[in-house]
Amino acid sequence: MTPVGDIHGRTAESRAGVAAFLAGVWLIAAPPVLHFGASLHAFRPYWVSMGLAVVIMLLGMVRAMAPLDVPLLRQITIGLALWLLVVSLRPGDGGSSAVWLNQLVVSAGIALSAGLALLVGMRGARRRTTA
């Protein structure tokens, strides 16, 4: 039988993985939706954030399907979200301000969901060691 702490940890991690996956999908879809002119120059201002979005999507899928099997993915996802935040804060290179703001909000959301899943996992681990 699975301890209750493991169920809560798996649920939180799985939901954070799904949130990261959906955020990655949105980051890829956002440039053409928010800035149609981007397709004229082949998404040049967005290639770094779109590459990060693909990696975040893949990590999100793994976290959603096998939530506690690879615990290091939480920290990697937080790091990638912070990197995405840094990429969106660099000086403008022709990107739309709507896409820039979108990257800020989405990267903060990814980092927040991964951080909350990390805290829930740490709380469950602490509860198991004291019991």
3-state secondary structure of 96: coil
Nearest Cα residue to 24 out of 109, 89, 127, 116 = 109
Domain residue limits, the chain:
4-125
- The confidence score (pLDDT) of residue 91 equals 62
Q: How many CB atoms lie within 10 A of CB 9?
A: 24
pLDDT-flagged residues of the chain (< 70)? 1-6, 8, 35-45, 91-96, 124-131
- The confidence score (pLDDT) of residue 124 equals 66
- The confidence score (pLDDT) of residue 37 equals 63
Using CA atoms in the order 67, 71, 77, 79, what is the torsion angle rounded to 10 degrees?
170
User: How many angstroms separate the CA atoms of 1 and 21, rounded?
Assistant: 29
Q: Which segments within 19-64 are labelled E, that is strand?
A: none
